[in-house]
Amino acid sequence: MRSLNDDPFPSTPGKVKIDRTRTLTRLLYRCLASTSSLFLWVLFLIALTASYLSFHSFVDSGSRFFTASWGGIQWEKQVRTSSQIRRSGGMSVLVTGAAGFVGTHVSLALQKRGDGVVGLDNFNNYYDPSLKNARKSLLNRHGIFIIHGDLNDARLLSKLFDVVAFTHVMHLAAQAGVRYAMENPSSYVHSNIAGLVNLLEACKSANPQPSIVWASSSSVYGLNEKVPFSESDRTDQPASLYAATKKAGEEITHTYNHIYGLSITGLRFFTVYGPWGRPDMAYFSFTRNILQGKPITVYRGKNGVDLARDFTYIDDIVKGCLGSLDTSGKSTGTGGKKRGPAPYRIFNLGNTSPVTVPILVGILERSLKMKAKKNFVDMPGNGDVPFTHANINLARRELGYKPTTDLQTGLKKFVRWYLSYYGYNHGKTVN
């Protein structure tokens, strides 16, 4: 018997219509059946591609921050050796931002007195990374191991605390600079907020918990007019995103102190300068430009008033950092739980004698024996404040902090280092 399907030419016209319709329906049904399975396949492929892409972008964004140059038996051995304490009553310190300006000096000073030091730095390119690499070589020569890693790498931090029972963390890693915040705001959130929280999470879970000393900034005093700035003054009018992230850091560290019993000391540094300094800071770029015969821009405040800073020499800051570590008191938590109140302290570390920018330029001119080509410009609203001036009574009392280097002496030392490092012709085009 032939089935309807087999008969493409039925005998009656009506039947033609019906049969044609049926055939079409069947065709359509088949077509739909294959389309829907095709559709399902397409959906499946899209899902597969999407999950592949999202995994890929996760790995990508991770690797952007976390170049996995850590781990392994040899790496652990280097970390352990570097963290070894060589004096009685000494400490083993994780120094974040160790390839930075302050981090390098603090690491060297700790190592010199017999403390164990392990450095951590992501070597970002906010300023010339070759300077950070040179600082790293200097630290390596003194037996200090620096890990190339990011504060936001939770696995790395947890591994580090597994390998070494750090007694202290000297947290100096940050996105510094006031003006750059208008160009790259997210870098401040990444390092100064997210990175800080990640570090505190690792510290709170570590057993034993380390004591933490970290760098806040004089910029938290923002637009305050009452001078000198005291720790009890208001800090709720920041003039830049940088200042706002430092202020947030003070609040965040307070929370971890309160909930988890972490011992916290926040240091408000006032314009630190000296050898191995930061190329983005005025005294550094002025030196470069004067030597190259290029003009320098000197900002002026309202009504042509000169800007002034409480310039603080690096050796004085280092003494303040070590004094803070020595007096920090213990964290009280274990297993991520608070067992009692722990110290929470904040100190100004300044020099107490502000100097105007034109006076700074004059000192540089005399040290370099060259005249600067000065362009005086009204200070733009880019986050700078007109003056800073520290009251250091609290640090004097609690830390024995006593700055001893005036700007003239300190700048001379900086210039000597600058010339030995870069030479007189740094950046000059050779004809």
Ligand X SMILES: NC(=O)c1ccc[n+]([C@@H]2O[C@H](COP(=O)([O-])OP(=O)(O)OC[C@H]3O[C@@H](n4cnc5c(N)ncnc54)[C@H](O)[C@@H]3O)[C@@H](O)[C@H]2O)c1
Q: Active-site positions?
A: 242
For residue 381, the Cα-to-chain-centroid distance in whole angstroms is 24
The tokens for 142 are: 């003194």
CB of 174 to ligand X, least distance (A): 3
* Interface contacts to ligand X, rule CB under 6 A: 97, 99-103, 120-124, 132, 150-152, 172-176, 191, 195, 215, 217, 269, 271-272, 278
Is the Cβ of residue 116 or residue 195 nearer to ligand X in the bound state?
Answer: 195
Residue 35 CB, nearest approach to ligand X (Å): 51
| 17 secondary structure, DSSP code | H
**At how many degrees (to 10) do helices 129-141 and 101-112 cross?**
0
Task: Output the smallest distance, CB 418 to ligand X, in A.
Answer: 15
Q: At what angle do helices 154-163 and 73-82 cross, to 10 degrees?
A: 60
- 196 vs 332, beta carbon nearer ligand X: 196
For residues 222 and 250, the answer to whether their CB atoms sit within 8 Å is no
For residue 222, the number of C-alpha atoms closer than 13 Å in the C-beta half-sphere is 17
Q: Which residues contact 260 (CB under 8 A, 6 or more apart)?
A: 204, 209, 331, 333, 336, 337, 338
> Which residue's C-beta sits nearest to ligand X?
100
For the bound state, the minimum distance from the C-beta of residue 208 to ligand X, rounded and expressed in Å, comes to 23
CA–centroid distance for 219 within its chain: 16
Indicate the residue among 85 and 134 with the shorter CB distance to ligand X.
134
Cβ count near 53 (within 10 Å) = 11
Q: With 0-12 CB in 10 A as exposed, 13-18 as middle and 19+ as buried, what is 155?
A: middle
- Residue 293 Cβ, how far from ligand X at the closest point, in Å? 27
| Closest to ligand X by CB, 212 or 261 | 212
Cα distance between residue 139 and residue 109, in whole Å: 11
Give the DSSP letter of residue 208: S
Comparison of 221 and 261: residue with beta carbon closer to ligand X: 221
